[in-house]
Chain A
Amino acid sequence: MKLADLLTQKKSQIVARWINLLYDSYPPETAIFLKKEKDKFDNPIGYGISRGLNGLFETLVQEMEREQILAALDEVIRIRALQDCSPSQALAFIFLLKNIVREELAEELEQQNLMEELQELDARIDGLSLLGFDVYTRRREKLQDMRINEVKNRVSGFLRKSGMSMNDI
């Protein structure tokens, strides 16, 4: 069996571990809550992480457009970009998948000759991380833009009166 098939077969276990590992990076009280609360509106961080990691996993087992991959990364990174001070902390979660796959598929990896495919997966996870830096930077730049736009917008009615637009200042 190919690695991609094995990954698809064990998707739920692998992604669940990935999600839980990321939850564990929050303070213990918060991690308990994130794991317990299943309502997506009462647990928006949990919902965002779960939706994002499920989507990201799919990008590794299926072929997808670059924009779809970036969108999947953005689901998680836009939360992390607010909560973590450094890009390394915000993006560390992507690399965790390598170990999870090795642990979840330990037997299969040993029995079947999958080393080449595993290397290929590792490389794709690395690629995902590099794209993650693009997404992270985009999010941080957006925050800066929003700061500027908000200052301008506070007098937007006045700008309109003066015949100017937000772009004029």
Chain B
Amino acid sequence: MAKVPKPSELLPGISYQPPAKGWMDVKPDFRPGTYCNPAAPKWMEWIGYPYPQARSIPDNEWGLPDNWQEIVLQGMEDRLDRFRSLKLFFDICVRCGACADKCHFFLGTGDPKNMPVLRAELLRSVYRRYFKKIGRVLGEIAGARDLSEDVIKEWFFYLYQCTICRRCSLFCPYGIDMAEMTLLGRELLASVGLNIDWAMASVAQCYDKGSHIGATPQAFKDMIDFLAEENERITGITTTPSYNRKGAEVLFVTPSGDYFADPGSFTLMGYLLLFEYIGLDYTFSTYAAEGGNFGWFISHEMGKRLNSKIYAEAKRLGVKWILGGECGHMWRVCNQYMPTYWGEPVNFLEEPVSPITGTRFENAKIHKMVHISEFTADLIKNGKLNLDPQRNAHIKLTFHDSCNTARGMGIFEEPRYIINNVLPEGHFVEMPPNTIREKTFCCGSSSGINASENMELRMQGGLPRANAVRWVYEQYGVNHLGCICALDRATLPTLLEYWVPEMQVTGITEMVGNALIFPDEIERTTDLRDRDLEGFGEAAEEDAEEGE
């Protein structure tokens, strides 16, 4: 028999001080809503990944292979040999704690194991036990521990609570990159059959069919044709995308989120209008129908496989270079990993040169891919676009720097330059400095964890971002959150629905599409989402009548 608890007894830290447990003794709480489901065996079979098996997290038995310890330790040894970064990051950390309160998952969940220093320690403790003499001899005293099933479960829990955003790395005096450790840790998990379903399904679909959502070539073409028709209905402008066209100058690649889901599809309408306006000689490919790369969220090997698909297609079509849509991790893979994946620059493509302005994109000379924001900003800078910012007067915007494009490759100014040219003056408001640019807070759902079953976790991880968005909403009446990443466009609407439901999410090229003035367009009364424009059409007539 027990007494009914007092309110204070329901809150553990209040009624009594919990016994001082070391972090190794605190086990993860696999509460529904906080973890992703394990991958279904069929996806793993599709791409030849080991130990496919139906698994359930609440089950104690995770179906690891008999020699799982041997596999993991051998895998760790192999990676310590191949990745100097891993060995360095394991050895060099002095646990100064500079990173501790910089992770959005720590800030949102309050779970100390989401302090990057401690998350890394989950792996480092095993490294110390098996690969360092001091750990072998002194064990726990030296921060070392045996590799048990509990440890593997803990890895699964916390390595999928890291979005590889690298904010912690920015504050580390040694530049230790938690993302590197997370990625390699996930590889070790994959080596014994532990993957998450959302990422694995996307990877398998992309590998087999061409895009994360598994759209067939016909569906891909149908959808883009439909968006072209929508453009024509709203603007009177016929946009004419081509598919798999050999000899085009440019291959355009964008994430599937841009052609299958709102609000990304409005951004794709913006791309079509922009390319029509400048007369770009470009083609889509139904084989390289996915700019995103969920493979990279599972392993470097899978990241390379999906990345190669885009380039194989560029080679087959004989294009000069690749233009990429508003995507985040596609760029991180190209800028940070691709040269290592390939071991040499992409020699069969040309260094990208804008056919409209003649600008040479020297920054893309290795991977030959230009980000749409770089490309558009250059067009505006050279006076090639006739824009009417008043057509975006209903939008008051703040800009979310996507981690991969911002911290990963330094695209800070280009989107802001575009924004300032397509919005009326005073319609762009920055969030506080400690939440943007290189210090930007992650959306909390990237790196393959934008599944639905872990919604509580995502809402916690995205709290720091949403908190800053809410501030500009309350202070300045901002009503739109802009971004140049398709994953952001997929996940931020959900995040904001919970924390700041008054806000909407938009891509930047969508606003370019709104603002572009075509010589032969019909009268524009709505934006690309069919929302009435302020001061145009009926709204303008009403204003005029009121004035009379």
Binding site for B on A (CB under 8 A): 21-22, 24-31, 33-34, 37, 39-45, 47-48, 78-79, 82-83, 85, 88-89, 92-96, 99, 142-143, 146-147, 149-151, 153-158, 160-161
Contacts and interface: CB of A to CB of B under 8 A. Distances in A.
B110 A34 contact: yes
Contacts of B219: 158
B11 A92 contact: yes
A82 B105 CA distance: 13
A47 B468 CA distance: 11
A25 to B, nearest CB: 4
B534 interface: no
Contacts of A44: 107-108, 463-464, 467
A146 B498 contact: yes
Contacts of B7: 92-96
B58 interface: no
A27 B110 CA distance: 8
A42 B108 CA distance: 10
B8 interface: yes
B111 interface: yes
Interface string B1-29: 00000011011111000100000000000
A28 B463 contact: no
Contacts of A161: 222-223, 226
Contacts of B112: 27, 29-30
Contacts, number: 138
Contact of B260 (A21, A83, A143, A157): A157
Contacts of B14: 21, 24-25, 96
Contact of B467 (A41, A88, A92, A147): A41
B262 A156 contact: yes
Interface residues of B, number: 52
Contacts of B11: 21-22, 24-25, 89, 92-93, 96
A153 B261 contact: yes
B493 A153 contact: yes
A142 B11 CA distance: 24
Contact of A45 (B222, B226, B434, B463): B463
Interface string B175-186: 000000000000
Nearest to A97: B7
A100 to B, nearest CB: 10
Contact of A146 (B223, B434, B497): B497
A13 B181 CA distance: 44
B457 to A, nearest CB: 8
A118 B396 CA distance: 48
Contacts of B13: 24-28, 31
A157 B262 contact: yes
A41 B434 contact: yes
B463 A157 contact: no
B497 A149 contact: yes
B259 interface: yes
11 contacts: A24-B13, A30-B111, A41-B435, A42-B107, A42-B434, A45-B107, A93-B11, A143-B459, A149-B497, A153-B490, A157-B227
A27 B111 contact: yes
A153 B467 contact: no
